[in-house]
Copies of this chain bind each other. A is one copy, B any other.
Amino acid sequence: MTPSTERGGRRTRRVTLADVARKARVDKAVVSRVVNNDPLLNIRPETRARVVAALKELDYRPNVAARSLRTARAGTVGLFIPDFANPVYAEIITGAETAAATRGCALMVGSSTVGDGRAQTYLDLLGQGRVDGLLLAGGAITDEEQATLADRALPWLFVNRRGGGGRHVILDDGLAARMAVEHLLELGHRRIAHVGGPTGADTAHRRREGYVEALRAGGLEEDPRLIVGGTYGPGGGAQAVGRLLEAPEPPTAIFVANVSSAIGVLSALRAHGLSVPEEVSVVAVHDLPLAEHLIPPLTTVRMPLRALGARATELLLTVPPDRPVEEVVRDPIELVVRQSTAPPR
């Protein structure tokens, strides 16, 4: 008998290993090994056939809770992000989800928009044994939270930010910044400003370093008045432009640490009557589908965010939790030249 269901999914009695074993006239241990493809199982072909047939006929699906209890493995990876609305995390999630699925694991994503926003609250919700490990992407993790984490006997890994006592996976944000700035230098720009990310954000820190390095490699000295911080959102970008234009000698080009900020940068420049790229060039880190539909289409540096999410998941699941991980994912970083950058006039 297959379980019957009704509208909305009425819950009927589950099919268990014992049901399958009875039907196939074997012990449930045998069924278990067949289900899990136990390589050590030596079974007669006709017995296996009976088991497989019963499995199929009853539409057996293992009970995750029972399996987890027995094996002490959840088959689930946790991922904690600041905000689902940030498209950067969307890409990381997608990469992590795919990598987890490849290993037969589910992914459980939580954001700090819930409750008081602390990683701790998310941890409490996870309880004990809901996930086998935790990826912590971006955002600010306080020392207290890191201590709590340490108490949980749970493997973790920082993603897109350094930390975790030498357990992190990042991208080469310095290189991304240098590629952006070198592009501006090659176009002939000499007064290149930087709209950075929020103080304390590790990616912001590394992009700013890359900006300074590229300037110096080009024989220029950085000008503190041309470096302004912000948030990683459009509002922060718009505000930053306001401060930038107060400088006595305004820049001819702006390197923006984040594409969302750049949307605000573009609109603020226009509001100040400056045309892009004729009067000011703009280039930003991270590409998005909408970048080519901005006015003007935005030159960006595309980062391998999916690869980052995928690699982090793999490492979390394979590297022993007491071993350090400090990896820079080396998938290609690509300059996407559109119409927001041009030689200075």
A-side residues, CB < 8 A to B, are 2-3, 5-12, 14, 59, 61-66, 68-69, 74, 76, 83-85, 87, 89-91, 93-94, 97-98, 101, 104, 106-111, 113-115, 121, 125-130, 133, 149-157, 164-167, 233-235, 237-238, 260, 263-264, 266-267, 270, 289-290, 292-295, 297, 319-325
Closest Cβ neighbor of A92 among chain B residues: B84
List residues of chain B with CB within 8 A of the CB of A110.
97, 106-107
- Please tell me how many copies of the chain the complex holds: 2
Give which listed residue, B85, B113, B167, contacts A87 with CB less than 8 A.
B85
Q: Are B90 and A127 in contact (CB under 8 A)?
A: no
A128 in contact with B63 (CB, 8 Å): yes
Q: Is the CB of B101 within 8 A of A9?
A: no
Distance between A115 CB and nearest chain B CB, rounded to angstroms: 6
Q: A106-B130, A151-B5, A322-B8 are in contact. Are A97 and B69 (CB under 8 A)?
A: no
Given contacts A101-B115, A270-B295, A153 and B90 within 8 Å (CB-CB): no
Would you list 23 pairs from A and B whose C-beta atoms are within 8 A, ordered by A residue?
A5-B150, A7-B167, A7-B324, A8-B325, A9-B152, A9-B321, A61-B127, A61-B128, A63-B127, A65-B66, A65-B68, A65-B74, A76-B130, A83-B90, A94-B111, A94-B114, A104-B125, A108-B108, A233-B289, A237-B293, A238-B293, A267-B295, A270-B295
User: Distance (Å) between the CB of A179 and the closest chain B CB?
Assistant: 23
Q: Taking CB as reference atom, which chain B residue is nearest A262?
A: B293
With a CB–CB cut-off of 8 A, which chain B residues contact A68? 64-65, 68
Instruction: Judge whether A156 and B8 touch: CB under 8 Å.
Output: yes
Contact of A128 among B64, B109, B130 (CB under 8 A): B64
A93: contacting residue among B84, B106, B155, B157, CB under 8 A: B84
The distance in angstroms between the C-alpha atoms of A64 and B74, with both chains bound, is: 9
Chain B: minimal CB distance from A56 (Å): 13
CB-based nearest B residue for A130 = B64
Query: Which of A110, A153, A157, A323 is packed against the most chain B CB atoms within 10 Å?
Result: A153
A295–B295 touching, CB < 8 Å = yes
